[in-house]
Structure 1
Amino acid sequence: MGAVDPPMLYVAHDDQMVIVSTLPLRIRGGRAETFRWGSVVEISPADPGEDTVGVRELRRFAVLLLVVAVLFACVRSGWWLIPALGGTVCLAASVVGGWLRREGAILAPEIDRRPDEHRVLIDDEDREAFSEAIDLGERISKTWPALHGLIDTAAAGRQLAHALWELAGLLERRQDLREVRDDLAEKDHDGLPADSPAVRELRAQREKVAAALADLDADVHRRLSDLTATALAGENFLREQEIGELIRDTDQRLAELTPHDLPGGPESGAALAEHTQAVLAAYRDLTDKYGDGS
């Protein structure tokens, strides 16, 4: 088995934020769920689940057993070891159960020292947009095994990670601009004349921020559309391959079962192959966009 390329992008997400980083991320204070596809590693806090262990009751029982063990030891009874062992086991189980039920928090160890290597998304709109991009990225990566030998899957993985990193940067910038827009909107200029230089400048700044936000919205939409088109191109290619295999298998079976050629068999297979190549060419064009940073 060949060596696996190291990931280029780490994505940690919970119900409050998404952190995208070129550096490893962790979950602190609880278990983590990790999923890797292509050059991307996703990490999130594991669901703590219900209290099926009864941690509090188990801890109380452990204390009771340890107290009994102490009392036995005070009267010099040889039975003190049994409750002591039982109490120790119950106490350890309660500690483990409590840890399993804790919901962890995202930890970015290098975010203060290397902030440029991180993108932090907290607004719902931006987190949802990046979640959509992640879903599309997973769909794209699922088509790569069937495309092995037709495209450079390692390069495609790097290009996709780069595309997601750029998108995260755009979303973070849009998030910050939205905050600037809200600050300008809240600025009270009642009492000042409409032609006041301050009012005119405030109006100009609002228009400038609105235009910048519109440009970012369009760019985000375009990039999501490119990812969608790439996913569909790869998935269509797989469907074309499945249909092509079915047609070839059907042609072979019909040739074995009939004494003469059926009209349309070879021609339909050729048309399908031609269409498949067109879909694959479109897929290559879309993945090439990620290589030049567009």
Structure 2
Amino acid sequence: MTGHLFVGGDHEKIVVSPYPLRMRTGRARRDRQGSVTEIVPVAPSGRSRETRVRFTSQLSLVLLVLVAVLSALGIAWWAAASGALALVTFVTVQQARAAREGTIALPRDDDSYVLHAAEERAAYGRALVVARRVRRTWPALRHMVDPDDADRSLTAALRELAAIMARRQQIRRLREELGAASLHDLPADSPAVQALAEQRLRVEGLWRSTAAAANRILAGINAAAIAGENLIREQRIGQTARDAELAISRLALTATAPADSAPELAERTAAVIAAYRELAADH
């Protein structure tokens, strides 16, 4: 899975990992685009426990009858019963899983990033939306853009952005802690107060630098999307203009032919009439 990226988001977090993600509860839909696979939890089925138990009971009754029929046909009852039990167990587990809200399991490796803060999750979510826009432009620009190179660059940008957002999440918590610690009645010349102020300045510097780095990545992805979409629109407008030019040329040729034929027809008609009159006059 080298170079691949798995991104999953549930109601409490966004997980970005180079390794496949698992569901802790519920089910998920997986959508792969290039080297990025997005994992989206499926909405709960809404079936209550009573409904699930009733369905399982009905299924068990049907399977019990089927086991009896198979036994009468000479099939070993224990084999049929084992298969029926396995099926009931599988259905029960799947129904219970489908009824629960989907949550993604936390990865155990150091190469993954988990975003819990609402601000970082929202920013990364916007980047994913824009990244999809970028990918949608590649088929129309296949003669100008190498999809493999573009995919690697876009995936690397999303991975780097996840790392920055994870850092900002930690810096955010530290800023809040230092801000709470600054509410005191100690004199300003206290060594502890001065040390606290120094650390707050350092944290603010980290906060601004990570914001600038994140904005550069977001701006780059957005610029790629806008450039691709504008080029596609320009190509469509150019094709429309060429089609219109061809249609207008055909219409112009069609309109010119009657204009030349009508005077000729009038001259021929006048000549025929004149000849007829001369012939009548001679008689």
Return the TM-score normalized by structure 1: 0.71
Equivalent in the alignment of 1:244:
238
- Per-residue deviation, residues 234-269 of structure 1 (Å, max 9, x unmatched): 111111111111111111111111039xxxxxxxxx
Equivalent in the alignment of 2:101:
103
Other structure's SS at 1:120 match: strand
Equivalent in the alignment of 2:29:
33
From 119, 126, 134, the counterpart of 2:113: 119
Q: Name the CA shift for 1:188/1:247 in 2 (closer, same or farther; >3 Å).
A: closer
Contact 1:35–1:42, Cα closer than 8 Å, also in 2: yes
Point out the structure with max Rg over C-alpha: 2
Contact 1:27–1:44, Cα closer than 8 Å, also in 2: no
Equivalent in the alignment of 2:10:
14
Following the alignment from structure 1 to structure 2, what is the Cα–Cα distance between the partners of residues 213 and 130?
17
Following the alignment from structure 1 to structure 2, what is the Cα–Cα distance between the partners of residues 36 and 199?
52
Instruction: Read off the aligned partner of 1:246 and give its amino acid letter.
Output: T
Contact 1:6–1:39, Cα closer than 8 Å, also in 2: no
Following the alignment from structure 1 to structure 2, what is the Cα–Cα distance between the partners of residues 41 and 119?
15
Return the TM-score normalized by structure 2: 0.74
Q: How many Å apart are 1:139 and its aligned residue?
A: 0.3
Q: Name the CA shift for 1:92/1:242 in 2 (closer, same or farther; >3 Å).
A: same
Contact 2:164–2:210, Cα closer than 8 Å, also in 1: yes
Q: How many Å apart are 1:222 and its aligned residue?
A: 2.5
Equivalent in the alignment of 2:210:
216
Aligned length: 237
Other structure's SS at 1:16 match: coil
Following the alignment from structure 1 to structure 2, what is the Cα–Cα distance between the partners of residues 171 and 230?
21
Contact 2:7–2:15, Cα closer than 8 Å, also in 1: yes
Contact 1:61–1:90, Cα closer than 8 Å, also in 2: no
Q: How many Å apart are 1:33 and its aligned residue?
A: 0.5
CA RMSD after TM alignment: 3.0
Following the alignment from structure 1 to structure 2, what is the Cα–Cα distance between the partners of residues 35 and 182?
37
Other structure's SS at 1:213 match: helix
Q: Name the CA shift for 1:251/1:94 in 2 (closer, same or farther; >3 Å).
A: same
Following the alignment from structure 1 to structure 2, what is the Cα–Cα distance between the partners of residues 25 and 93?
23
Following the alignment from structure 1 to structure 2, what is the Cα–Cα distance between the partners of residues 144 and 55?
46
Q: Which runs of 5+ in 2 are unaligned?
A: 66-76, 255-283
From 177, 180, 190, the counterpart of 1:183: 177
Residue 155 (structure 2) pairs with residue 161 (structure 1): yes
Other structure's SS at 1:259 match: helix
Kindly report which structure 2 residues correspond to 1:1-294, keeping only aligned pairs within 5 A, or say none.
8-51=4-47, 54-59=51-56, 93-108=91-106, 111-112=107-108, 114-115=109-110, 117-187=111-181, 190-259=184-253
Decide which structure has greater helix share: 2
Q: Which runs of 5+ in 1 are unaligned?
A: 70-80, 261-294
Equivalent in the alignment of 1:271:
none
